[in-house]
Structure 1
Amino acid sequence: MATEERLTVAPIVGPDDPRVFTDSGIEIKPLYTEEDLPEQLQLGEPGDFPYTRGVHREMYRKQQWTMRQYAGYASAKESNERYRYLLSRGGTGLSMAFDLPTQLGLDSDNPRCLGEVGRTGVAIDTIDDMRTAFDQIPLDQVSTSMTINAPASVLLCLYELVGEEQGVPSEKLRGTTQNDVLKEYIARGNYIYPPEPTMRLTTDLFAYCAENIPKWNTVSISGYHFREKGCSAVQEVAFTLSSGIAYVTAAIEAGLDVDTFAPRLAFFFNGHNNVFQEVAKFRAARRMWATIMKERFGAQNPKSMMLRFHTQTGGVTLTAQQPQNNIVRVALQGFAAVCGGTQSLHTNGFDEALALPTEEAAKIALRTQQIIAAESGATDTVDPFAGSYFIESLTDEIESRAYELIDKVDQLGGSKNAIEFITGEIDESAWGYQERYRIEQDIVVGVNSYVEEELKVPDLLRVDPESEREQVERLKAFKANRDQALVDTRLEELREAARGTDNLLPFIKQALKDRASMGEVCGAMQDVFGKYAPTF
């Protein structure tokens, strides 16, 4: 099917064509008037179904969004220092970035991990590492988001154990595990097990938290990574909500009541430069999810219908050329997220196209949020763009086109069975982005327009290679200082539970408490579940 017919990707028409399109192929008119408003505006009131205008009646007049800066690198000690730095500068939540080995459920001493330990985030192998990462940070006073997926249940249990050591009851822990592995199969590739056992772990975490950690957001259903891979705004909405449908379906099939787990579902979206499309995107997604939960799944609890979401500004929009320009891009993206009603926000460092953010870049990113909150006026009134001819037209258009894509995913049996289709759609969109930049149909300042010959590289954060050796040595000492027979017993008990139907999190937690490592726990489950290998 041709790009124009699909209505989810901007057509490639060249720089001389007078028409203007969003990345979703929505043609933008030179002027919007009252005639462009939908016949029936589905606005409602903020805090009421269908939540177009926000999930809370007073929104930021009552409470600001959580300023949650994504951070973590090298060792747990260095990451702890960055976390405490951000909190001391006015951050109101933490967001843990894990290194690639941790995301893949591998210990730092695994030969596959050479050169990757601590590079893209913090290395967490053991209870000792998690304890160090949160040293002097009271877990009953902060909300912590963990960007972890395949091993999400393992990292949550480590966090809960550290909370217990601090004397913090589990019912007081607040935060989120991303726990969205469907998007790993589609967009990132950081998976361990095949989809079926992975969905079991996901729903086991839902059930465990409902009983033990009731304030925890059990999944952050992520469109962010779809957008980073190259999808359009419409595709981001459609494929994210399709993932949400898959998780709700799996939980219900596992015997969970929808109104028991659905209030703790959260979402994670990308923020891009087109402020108006982004505001409309967030409003459309909120309205769509409310309708899906009410009409498709019969949810009764209003909180089950509320799409609460975190936003991260677009990493893929950052440029290595003229990196200071990224400060402006991030400000626009953060402003759009706030005007769209986000509950939590991370703003990227301007140098992240080149390396992990320096302390200075991280502070500027946090100050960007604080300026939006205190100086822009965006927080003064709820849903400030409501009623705009342009925004309301865009909101309805995004909703209509996203539903078309959701219908296609449904016809293929849902997200779990539509991985190849979704991947193909995103790949075509990503190719379109590149072509439009290449022929200068779309302008990126400093890259294909207003180019400067002299490249100025700012001071960058460089992870000391010695930190990897030190992490491996700590892990070696940890494994030498434990009751190995007890660890072996706990891992076998976990394997036996994996062969059955019991909730796996109590077995995971006990193994970790008795000093099994993160990689050993994930490896024990892989012994039973096997390893996922893509077929396309």
Structure 2
Amino acid sequence: MFDDEELAAIRDAREDWEDDTLDPVLDAYGERKERFATVSNVEVERLYTPEDVTDLDYTEDLGFPGEFPYTRGVYPTGYRGRTWTMRQFAGFGTAEETNERFHYLIDEGQTGLSTAFDMPSLMGLDSDDPMSLGEVGKEGVAVDTLRDMEILFDGIDLSEVSTSFTINPSAPVIYAMYLAVADQQGLDREELRGTLQNDMLKEFIAQKEWVVPPEPSLDLVTDVVEYCAENTPKFHPISVSGYHIREAGSTAVQELAFTLADGFAYVEDAIERGLDVDEFAPQLSFFFNSHNSIFEEIAKFRAARRIYARVMEERYGAEAEASKQLKFHTQTAGQSLTAQQPLNNVARVTLQALAAVLGGSQSVHTNSYDEALALPSEDAVRVALRTQQIIAEESGAADIVDPLGGSFAVEALTDEVEEEAMAYIDEIEAKGDGSIRDGVLAGIEEGYFHREIQEAAYEYQSRVDDGEETVVGVNAYEVEEDTSPDTLHVDEDATRERQLGRLEDVKAERDDDAVADALDALREAIDGDENTVPYIVEAVKAYATMGEIMQVFEDEFGGYQETAAVA
């Protein structure tokens, strides 16, 4: 962007600035600390100039919004056409309680629903399973059968909302239940909009929720990808999730690299299944974390789009523009929230949400300030939603497309993040002898991802403990008085009793022969290497339970014990 003569002049001018202007101030006052770095411990320079982006080619590396390589965004009008989808996590207790929260959020102006499930549902267990004791409805809504899903969306027209489901091992069952409710409402499945997280590779890497081993888990994900491409083209069958990788303690670069590697693994598996990349790739979506280092996060989002576009085109032969456009949801960083002085979290979440917007996210979830203490209260949820609305309507951040594009600092950081992320992806590919999918599976089995994240998490906590990393209210600016707000309380005993009663009623009312036939058909589909989704749909319509359906998969494929990660 600058010729050699211009760069030489800038270099000379900078040296003069350092001698005449900077050094006297440093000698007199110094700086706040010796080293400035991001949350990921990446050192940042005092000043960035054209010298830091000498290799930047505007056409090849930046381009224009809505055009390859999409560094500046996937839409030419950015948020000037419409703002991002505003989502707030909702899910606690029984389906009735969460349905009430859904209606509240819609009335408050939320444009997309996001569903949290309790631990038994996440793990494919029924509420009456002995392993579910103490967890029913505790950290999300309990869903055992189609009856719960019917109540969950009572009074909500599925043709008018986009619904996100944060669930993984049992995601195909939840997807099947959603299809069944849509069928009951008489809706055209092709009009259904939403996102299923359904990212099992991330589970084995970071979040640790699974039912069957990695390879059959991957097959089940691809079943949903294949079925969605043919039947629900507006529904995202997978949200490849870096969020939980970051929450486990990774750096921003690790989050990006491991997430994209997982995404490319899913692409390779679908292509091996016989799908054309342009049939399914436009439906793939991603899910990132937005942490406190605002410029690092913006650089991460921009680098993600550029890497994805180039790899999808060059490696996988994607031709459709939609197949090369990385679209993603962003959630503010749960791990950054503090139980101490929780109102400080409002400021943290605001900065993190602003980074997501300046980075071009298609959908944003803002955490509630009280989530380090409990499930969010209605007041806290309203503040979180209003934070997004203020950014959209009052800040001006949504009025300019990629407003930080061309910033020497942001472009230099984007290049740095891209280079380091690609080094990780190349390492993963080498583990798979040229296959990213096989490299991811190998990395899971040998504990590679665990060790990388474990080391990063340890280094971060050490910096906090040493005071090198400031956490306001925790290791600096502490107060002694109790600053805890009133929090949401879920009556565990009443919730469990109500849920078990409904499950018992469903089992008493359903046709047991129809359930047995549906489960047998599912087993035969697995044995015959058929796509399992149509059979899961029939099973949920017969009111087979979550646990009964997932038990079929566990019977067929067995369980899984991970390899211990040794640092």
TM over 0.5: yes
Alignment of 1:162-177 (within 5 A): 162-177=181-196
Q: Which residue of 2 aligns with 1:518?
A: 546
Unaligned 5+ segments in structure 2 are 1-30, 433-438
Residue in structure 2 matching 1:86, options 105, 125, 129: 105
Residue in structure 2 matching 1:157, options 158, 176, 184: 176
Q: Which residue of 2 aligns with 1:39?
A: 55
Instruction: Indicate whether 1:22 and 2:34 are aligned.
Output: no
DSSP-derived class of the 2:62 partner:
coil
Give, in whole Å, the separation in 2 of the partners of 1:270 and 1:528. 35
Residue in structure 2 matching 1:293, options 304, 309, 312: 312
Q: Which residue of 2 aligns with 1:179?
A: 198
Q: TM-score, normalised by structure 1?
A: 0.96
Q: Which residue of 2 aligns with 1:10?
A: none
Q: Which residue of 2 aligns with 1:233?
A: 252
Residue in structure 2 matching 1:504, options 523, 526, 532: 532
Q: Which residue of 2 aligns with 1:458?
A: 485
Give, in whole Å, the separation in 1 of the partners of 2:300 and 2:357. 12
Give, in whole Å, the separation in 1 of the partners of 2:377 and 2:472. 23
Alignment of 1:392-407 (within 5 A): 392-407=411-426
Q: CA deviation at 1:535?
A: 2.5
Q: TM-score, normalised by structure 2?
A: 0.91
Give, in whole Å, the separation in 2 of the partners of 1:117 and 1:520. 17
Q: CA deviation at 1:17?
A: 6.4
Residue in structure 1 matching 2:331, options 312, 315, 338: 312
Q: CA deviation at 1:25?
A: 3.8
Instruction: Indicate whether 1:527 and 2:546 are aligned.
Output: no
DSSP-derived class of the 1:418 partner:
helix
Residue in structure 2 matching 1:488, options 516, 522, 525: 516
Q: Conserved in 1, the CA contact under 8 Å of 2:246 and 2:255?
A: yes
DSSP-derived class of the 2:79 partner:
helix
Residues 89-144 of structure 1 show CA distances to partners (whole Å, capped at 9, x for unaligned) of: 00000000011000000010100000001011000111110010001110000000
DSSP-derived class of the 2:345 partner:
helix
Alignment of 1:4-15 (within 5 A): none
Give, in whole Å, the separation in 2 of the partners of 1:126 and 1:315. 30
Instruction: Indicate whether 1:105 and 2:121 are aligned.
Output: no
Q: Which residue of 2 aligns with 1:7?
A: none
Instruction: Indicate whether 1:427 and 2:432 are aligned.
Output: no
Q: Which residue of 2 aligns with 1:5?
A: none
Residue in structure 2 matching 1:256, options 270, 275, 280: 275
Give, in whole Å, the separation in 2 of the partners of 1:75 and 1:61. 39
Q: Which residue of 1 aligns with 2:11?
A: none
DSSP-derived class of the 1:59 partner:
coil
CA pair 192-48 structure 1, distance change in 2 beyond 3 A = same
Give, in whole Å, the separation in 2 of the partners of 1:443 and 1:93. 35
Bigger radius of gyration, 1 or 2?
A: 2
Question: Structure with the greater relative contact order (CA < 8 A, sep ≥ 6): 1 or 2?
Answer: 1
Q: Conserved in 2, the CA contact under 8 Å of 1:107 and 1:125?
A: yes
Give, in whole Å, the separation in 2 of the partners of 1:38 and 1:318. 38
Q: Conserved in 2, the CA contact under 8 Å of 1:495 and 1:527?
A: no
Give, in whole Å, the separation in 2 of the partners of 1:22 and 1:67. 27
Q: CA deviation at 1:515?
A: 1.4
Alignment of 1:190-209 (within 5 A): 190-209=209-228
Letter in 2 for 1:404: A
Q: Conserved in 2, the CA contact under 8 Å of 1:38 and 1:396?
A: no
Residue in structure 1 matching 2:505, options 477, 484, 497: 477
Answer with 106-115 or 25-34: which moved more: 25-34
Residues 332-368 of structure 1 show CA distances to partners (whole Å, capped at 9, x for unaligned) of: 0000000000000000000000000000000000000
Q: Conserved in 1, the CA contact under 8 Å of 2:39 and 2:292?
A: no
Q: Conserved in 2, the CA contact under 8 Å of 1:101 and 1:123?
A: yes
Residue in structure 1 matching 2:441, options 406, 412, 416: 416
Give, in whole Å, the separation in 2 of the partners of 1:329 and 1:27. 21
Answer with 18-27 or 405-414: which moved more: 18-27
DSSP-derived class of the 1:159 partner:
helix
Q: CA deviation at 1:40?
A: 2.1
CA pair 66-16 structure 1, distance change in 2 beyond 3 A = closer
Q: Conserved in 1, the CA contact under 8 Å of 2:40 and 2:460?
A: no
Residue in structure 1 matching 2:406, options 352, 371, 387: 387
Give, in whole Å, the separation in 2 of the partners of 1:381 and 1:482. 56
Q: CA deviation at 1:279?
A: 0.6
Q: CA deviation at 1:453?
A: 1.1
Give, in whole Å, the separation in 2 of the partners of 1:248 and 1:206. 10
Q: CA deviation at 1:16?
A: 9.4
Q: Which residue of 2 aligns with 1:438?
A: 465
Q: Which residue of 1 aligns with 2:16?
A: none
Q: Conserved in 2, the CA contact under 8 Å of 1:38 and 1:392?
A: no
Answer with 251-260 or 26-35: which moved more: 26-35
Q: CA deviation at 1:490?
A: 1.1
DSSP-derived class of the 1:61 partner:
coil
Q: Which residue of 2 aligns with 1:4?
A: none
Task: Give the count of matched residue pairs.
Answer: 522
* Structure 1 residue ranges (4+ consecutive) displaced by more than 6 angstroms after TM superposition: none
Q: Which residue of 1 aligns with 2:141?
A: 122
